[in-house]
């Protein structure tokens, strides 16, 4: 989900395109990304057991999501 917002490197955007992005839209996207990440990380504590297999599984999911 997140790559569709941030996958295009800023160097590939012209200055006009970057300037055309309204600050409220950028802040809204940033806030949505933050809350999605918070919700995902919130579930990590629910998986705690000895040797942390649930945490490891969730971290691998986070890693896959970030790539």
Asked if 5 and 30 count as a contact pair (C-beta separation under 8 A), the reply is no
User: Residue 6 above 60 pLDDT?
Assistant: no
Query: What does each C-alpha distance from 4 to 7, 28, 58 come to in angstroms?
Result: 6, 15, 22
- Which tokens in the block code for residue 34? 């933050």
Asked if 20 and 44 count as a contact pair (C-beta separation under 8 A), the reply is no
Instruction: Give the per-residue pLDDT at 9.
Output: 62
User: Residue 61 above 80 pLDDT?
Assistant: yes
User: Residue 8 above 60 pLDDT?
Assistant: no
Instruction: Give the per-residue pLDDT at 4.
Output: 56
* pLDDT tens column, 11-57: 666 777 777 878 888 888 889 989 888 888 777 666 666 677 777 88
Find tokens 């990590």 and name the residue.
44
């Amino acid at each position: 989900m997140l790559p569709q917002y941030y996958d295009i490197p800023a160097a590939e955007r012209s200055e006009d395109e970057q300037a055309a992005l309204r600050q409220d839209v950028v802040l809204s996207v940033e806030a949505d990304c933050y809350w999605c990440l918070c919700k995902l990380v919130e579930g990590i504590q629910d998986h705690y057991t000895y040797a942390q297999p649930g945490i490891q599984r969730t971290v691998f999911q986070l890693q896959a999501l970030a790539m």
